[in-house]
Every structure is written in structure tokens, then in C-alpha cells.
């Protein structure tokens, strides 16, 4: 192994591999082209006079925070996803249960049996079984809602660091209010919508995983304000009072994840506009950054995460819909049968009313042979034939669903191996949909690869200057899809070309090195380490498995991406000699659209 030296790349003649100028910071991109004329004033400049904006004052002292807490100008940060509370449980649950045709049918029967002289069996035969069914279903609903309350409480009681005075105070998530300045640690969820002020990254960057928001696993890069990016609560000279004069004018809460604008007023520095790149959304998870500091602008129901959560209506499965149709059909058949029996009873009574063994009117009052008598007999026959619809119809189905939930959670085949977690059933109302719908699927239409399929890429073969390297065999596609093997680095001819020292500029060896050099440089992949001192194993975070496979293949071939910042890439070469070369990020292209803006 030769000693480290600068890599001389023929593509950049006259310069070594370290492209960044010493002592000069890489210029920040000009964002004046994003959707508006830079000569026109920002909408946030007149925010105080517009109802479409809200004004947020920072309160970093205890007295200011207590005053804001008692004023209750903005909503609480408490999360509530449960359906019931102690007061609403009984009426709401009874209403939902009697929306079912069978339960409403038996309630009507019970009401008829309470009328003296109509019921041939007595009210306990229907009221007691119906009460048992309703109570059993209520216990099941209470158990499901108890799990929601427990999940809400777990989220609301998480602790967060709020910066106050010259120290840090630990408060619960539900106690966070608009105007708080909080610090979020690595691998923690953002508790509220924050305006990004500073981070542990020297460039003022933060990497967010937004899988809970948009389903995307790739990391998003957010930028802190340049004026506040040096704030560090661990420094002794950190002055929290400098933030007390910070005033934020931002738009009112809305559900647009990729749109946000406003301005910040620092003491003596005028108005500075911001956009969605300075917004840390609730529900996102902080990655690859030790900590971030942000000012709370939206809490609770005002956060974009909560505003994108719609109130779920009561879901009715296909099986229950069919059951309701069958119940209605049985009831119609029963009603016709009761009318026929009542008419037959009238005809028989009219011709056989004088038999000695029949009770007289005094012992057994009978309605007359008129319309009222017909209705009374129809109601009596409805009560007699009510077992045609079993009273335990729905409760039996609910009991089966509870056991199905348990079996789903215990199923060893329904395990997500990377996380080691079993399947979780959030509700038992739609269990049968798994077999009724998913079990009958013949065609899957997806918008892109990886939506419903496991998208694993392996770097197996490449063509450089017309020469193909790597062997493509059937064994390349065998085995588990999670075991990605980048076999291109096993080609002996490729290894020989990469290990040649001092190749000519137009030689095949140099072209191979240039090829893998560009694979290691031209991408948006972010290298991450298993430990904070960046000495452990490197893993790559990519927006697509294609990029990840190409960068991993380049690393196995001797060109390993080791570090990435907003202005510089560091690649380590291990081909014959060991060389470290750094390449600055040449430019950033910003664009925005009504659907999604990216940078």
C-alpha cells in the first residue's frame, strides 16, 4: 500500500483532487428565482395586516411562557385520536350499535313486548338477550378505544427539551405551546411544526425522515437560518435573551406539506423571508444530526401532520353489508309471512269462534275483526317469528373478529424482519377484508416500482468503453431478495484495470477509474455512520435503490463515498494507492410546483 497522495484526474487538468478554495465559503444558492420576482416585496412583509398570517413571539423566559400559556391564543399540542370519553361513550356507542338493522329490529321487538296484551312470550325473552349483546359489544368497543387512549397518552407524555432562561427545562409534548424554543435529539420525532433555527451540523443542516408524512424513506435536507445557525445551547456564552426579540410572521395553518412561507425579524437585522426548507414538520424523525433547535409555530390540530388526518368514518366491511342486505330480506319475508298468518287467523276465527274450548272475551280479550285487530295479530306473529333473525348474529361476528386479531398478531409469517416487529391490528372492524379482498387479488396496478413490492437493486454488470465487466448468470437472481450482492467487483479483468498504477489518460484502466469515480460523485446519496465519531460502518441513504446500488458498487470497486456536506463530497480511493479527493457541489437547481417543491 502506497502512501496517501492527491489523485490527479484528467477531467480536471491543472488542478488536484481538492477543488474547494481554501478560506472561501462555497456561495449559497440564489433563491430569488423561486416562484416570485425578487424585486417585489415578500408577502410576509405585511403579515401583521393580513388575516392569512399569524404572528408568533418567542418566550424564552418562564414569566413570558406562563403568560402565553394562560392566554391560550393557540391550540394545545395534545394528540387525541380516541373516539369516546367517559361522557360520550354510552350514547355514541348505542347510536352506532342501533345503526345496525338487526339490533334496531330487536329493539323494536323489545318495545312491542312492553305493551300489555301484545306479547305472547313476555319482555324478558328479548330484552335480556339484547342487553347482553349490546353490553358485550360495548366492552369490545371500549377495549379498542382504550388502546387508542393508551397510544395517545404514550405520545403526549413524551419528554422534550424546552430552552428557557439560561437552562433547559424538560416538558411533556402535550405541554408544548406556540413560541417555545425546543431542542430535538437524533432519532427522535419532531413534536410540533418548528421553524428551523440551528443544528449540530456546521453547515446548519438537518436530515429528516418523513415516512410518517408522505411515505418516502429517503432523507430530506432542511436548512437553518444563516443568522441563527451558530446557536448552541451547550455553549456557556449562549444568550437565550437574544431570541426573546424574535418575531415570526407565517401563514395560517393548512394541510399543504410542501408549501410554507413567512418572515422572521431578528433584533436589528430586519425581515428575513423563509420557505418550506426551514420547516421541521411534526411526525418527521431526525436522522444523522445530533440535535436541532427550532421555534414552535404550529401545535396540535394546527400542525400539517394533524391537518392531513381526516376523521375516519365508521367503516363497514363487505361481509357486514351483505349481512345487512340478508337481514333486510329475511325481515321482508317475515313481514309477509306474518301478514298471511294474521289474515288466516282472522278467517279461522270468523268461522270457528263458537267452540266451547276457546276462551271467552272476558278471559282472553281479543281485538275485533277490523284493521286494528289485523295490526295486533301481525305484531304478535312478528314477536313469535323473531328467532328467524338470530339475536346473537353480530355479537358472534365480533367475537370471531377479536380472535382473528390475536391470531394476526401471533402469526410468525407476518413479521417485518428488518425491525423484528409483528403485525399490529389497529381495529377489528375490517378483518375479513384481508381474505375477501386481498385473497382474491389477481392484478396489482402500482404507480411505481417499490410501492407494493420489495425493490432491491444489485450492481451486477456494467459496460465501460464498449467492454462489459461482470458475469450475469441465473445465480445472480437466486436467493432471498434482501440479500443484495454487488458482484461486479468480482470481475478479475476489472480488478486488474483498476489496480494499474499511472495509466495513460486514454487507456482502458483510466476510463474504468473515471467511470467509478463519477458513480461515487454524481448522485444525491448521503453516507451515514453507525457511531457519532464517524469511524464505524458506512451505510448509504438514497432516494432510490438505483443510486444506492451504484454508489455501493463503486465503493466495493475502490471508490468509497465517506462524507457529504452541502458544499463538498469526500471520496476515498483504494485502487493500488490510497487517495482522498474532495469535490465541491457545483450548483443547486431549485424549482417549485403546486404539488411539490424540491431543491
Q: Which residues are known catalytic residues? A: 447
CA 37 – CA 485 distance, rounded (Å): 50
C-alpha cell at 71: 392566554
Q: How many CB atoms lie within 10 A of CB 528?
A: 17
Are 183 and 291 within 8 A, CB to CB? yes
Q: How many CB atoms lie within 10 A of CB 476?
A: 14
Q: What residues have CB less than 8 Å from 189, skipping those under 6 apart?
A: 158, 212, 282, 283, 284, 285, 286
* 3-class SS of residue 85: coil
* 3-class SS of residue 337: helix
Are 451 and 544 within 8 A, CB to CB? no
Are 286 and 207 within 8 A, CB to CB? yes
CA 111 – CA 126 distance, rounded (Å): 9
55 assigned to a ligand binding site: no
CA 169 – CA 165 distance, rounded (Å): 9
CA 47 – CA 55 distance, rounded (Å): 8
Secondary structure of 303-329 in the HEC alphabet? CHHHHCCCCCCCCCCHHHHHHHHHHHH
What string of DSSP letters covers 515-566?
Answer: HHHHHHHSS--EEEESSTTS-S-EEEE-SSHHHHHHHHHHHHTTEEEEEE-S
51 assigned to a ligand binding site: no
C-alpha cell at 440: 382474491
Q: What residues have CB less than 8 Å from 326, skipping those under 6 apart?
A: none
CA 593 – CA 274 distance, rounded (Å): 17
174 assigned to a ligand binding site: no
448 assigned to a ligand binding site: yes
CA 431 – CA 409 distance, rounded (Å): 12
Q: What residues have CB less than 8 Å from 556, skipping those under 6 apart?
A: 459, 486, 488, 489
Secondary structure of 421-488 in the HEC alphabet? EECCCCCCCCCHHHHHCHHHCCCCCCCCCCCCCCCCCCCCCEEECCEEECCCCHHHHCCCCCCCCCHH
DSSP 8-state code for residue 158: -
Residues 138, 139, 141: CA angle, nearest 5 degrees: 65
Strands 285-287 and 559-564, by their bridges, are: unpaired
* 3-class SS of residue 97: helix
Q: What residues have CB less than 8 Å from 587, skipping those under 6 apart?
A: 29
Q: Following CA atoms 49, 52, 58, 62 in sequence, which dihedral angle do they give, to the nearest 10 degrees?
A: 100
Q: What residues have CB less than 8 Å from 401, skipping those under 6 apart?
A: 428, 429, 431, 432
- Binding region: 447-449, 547
- Binding region for Mg(2+): 447, 449
- Binding region for ATP: 447-449, 547
Amino acid at each position: 500500500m502506497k502512501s496517501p497522495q492527491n489523485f490527479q484526474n484528467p477531467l480536471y487538468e491543472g488542478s488536484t483532487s481538492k477543488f474547494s478554495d481554501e478560506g472561501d465559503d462555497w456561495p449559497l444558492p440564489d433563491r430569488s428565482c423561486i416562484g416570485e420576482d425578487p424585486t417585489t416585496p415578500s408577502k410576509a412583509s405585511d403579515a401583521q395586516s393580513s388575516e392569512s398570517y399569524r404572528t408568533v413571539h418567542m418566550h424564552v423566559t418562564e414569566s413570558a411562557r406562563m403568560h402565553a400559556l394562560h392566554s391560550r391564543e393557540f391550540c394545545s399540542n395534545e394528540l387525541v385520536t380516541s373516539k369516546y370519553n367517559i361522557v360520550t361513550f354510552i350514547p355514541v356507542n348505542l347510536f352506532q350499535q342501533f345503526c345496525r338493522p338487526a339490533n334496531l329490529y330487536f329493539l323494536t321487538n323489545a318495545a312491542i313486548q312492553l305493551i300489555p296484551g301484545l306479547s305472547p312470550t313476555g319482555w324478558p325473552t328479548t330484552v335480556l338477550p339484547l342487553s347482553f349483546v349490546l353490553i358485550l359489544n360495548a366492552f369490545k368497543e371500549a377495549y379498542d378505544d382504550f388502546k387508542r387512549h393508551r397510544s395517545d397518552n404514550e405520545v403526549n407524555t413524551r419528554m422534550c427539551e424546552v430552552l428557557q432562561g439560561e437552562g433547559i427545562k424538560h416538558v411533556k409534548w402535550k405541554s408544548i405551546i406556540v413560541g417555545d424554543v425546543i431542542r430535538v435529539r437524533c432519532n427522535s420525532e419532531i413534536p410540533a411544526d418548528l421553524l428551523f433555527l440551528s443544528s449540530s451540523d456546521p453547515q446548519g443542516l438537518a436530515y429528516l425522515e418523513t415516512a410518517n408524512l408522505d411515505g418516502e424513506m429517503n432523507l430530506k435536507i432542511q436548512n437553518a437560518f444563516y443568522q441563527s445557525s451558530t446557536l448552541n445551547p451547550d455553549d456557556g456564552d449562549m444568550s437565550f435573551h437574544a431570541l426573546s426579540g424574535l418575531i415570526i410572521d407565517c401563514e395560517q395553518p393548512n394541510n399543504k406539506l410542501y408549501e410554507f412561507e413567512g418572515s422572521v425579524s431578528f433584533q436589528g437585522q430586519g425581515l428575513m423571508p423563509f420557505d418550506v426548507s426551514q420547516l421541521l414538520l411534526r411526525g418527521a424523525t431526525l436522522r444523522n444530526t445530533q440535535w436541532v433547535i427550532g421555534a414552535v409555530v404550529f401545535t396540535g390540530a394546527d400542525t400539517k401532520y394533524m391537518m392531513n388526518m381526516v376523521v375516519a368514518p365508521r367503516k363497514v366491511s363487505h361481509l357486514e353489508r351483505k349481512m345487512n342486505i340478508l337481514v333486510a330480506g329475511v325481515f321482508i319475508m317475515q313481514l309477509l309471512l306474518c301478514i298471511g298468518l294474521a289474515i288466516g287467523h282472522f278467517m279461522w276465527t270468523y268461522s270457528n269462534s263458537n267452540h266451547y274450548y276457546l276462551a271467552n272475551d272476558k278471559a282472553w280479550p281479543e281485538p275485533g275483526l277490523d284493521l286494528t285487530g289485523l295490526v295486533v295479530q301481525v305484531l304478535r306473529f312478528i314477536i313469535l317469528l323473531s328467532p328467524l333473525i338470530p339475536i346473537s348474529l353480530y355479537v358472534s361476528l365480533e367475537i370471531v373478529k377479536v380472535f382473528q386479531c390475536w391470531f394476526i398478531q401471533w402469526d410468525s409469517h407476518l413479521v417485518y424482519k428488518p425491525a423484528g416487529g409483528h403485525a399490529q391490528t389497529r381495529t377489528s372492524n375490517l378483518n375479513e377484508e384481508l381474505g375477501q379482498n386481498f385473497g382474491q387479488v389477481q392484478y396489482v396496478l402500482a404507480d411505481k416500482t417499490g410501492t407494493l413490492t420489495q425493490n432491491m437493486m444489485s450492481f451486477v454488470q456494467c459496460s465501460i468503453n464498449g467492454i462489459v465487466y461482470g458475469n450475469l448468470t441465473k445465480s445472480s437472481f437466486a436467493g432471498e431478495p434482501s440479500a443484495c450482492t454487488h458482484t461486479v467487483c468480482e470481475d478479475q479483468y476489472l480488478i486488474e484495470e483498476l489496480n494499474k498504477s499511472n495509466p495513460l489518460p486514454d487507456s482502458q484502466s483510466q476510463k474504468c477509474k473515471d467511470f467509478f469515480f463519477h458513480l461515487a460523485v454524481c448522485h444525491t446519496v448521503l453516507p451515514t455512520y453507525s457511531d457519532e465519531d464517524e469511524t464505524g460502518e458506512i451505510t448509504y441513504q438514497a432516494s432510490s435503490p438505483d443510486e444506492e446500488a451504484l454508489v455501493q458498487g463503486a465503493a466495493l470497486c475502490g471508490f468509497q463515498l465517506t462524507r457529504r456536506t452541502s458544499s463538498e463530497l469526500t471520496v476515498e480511493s483504494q485502487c493500488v494507492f490510497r487517495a482522498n479527493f474532495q469535490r465541491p457541489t457545483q450548483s443547486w437547481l431549485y424549482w417549485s410546483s403546486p404539488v411539490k417543491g424540491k431543491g
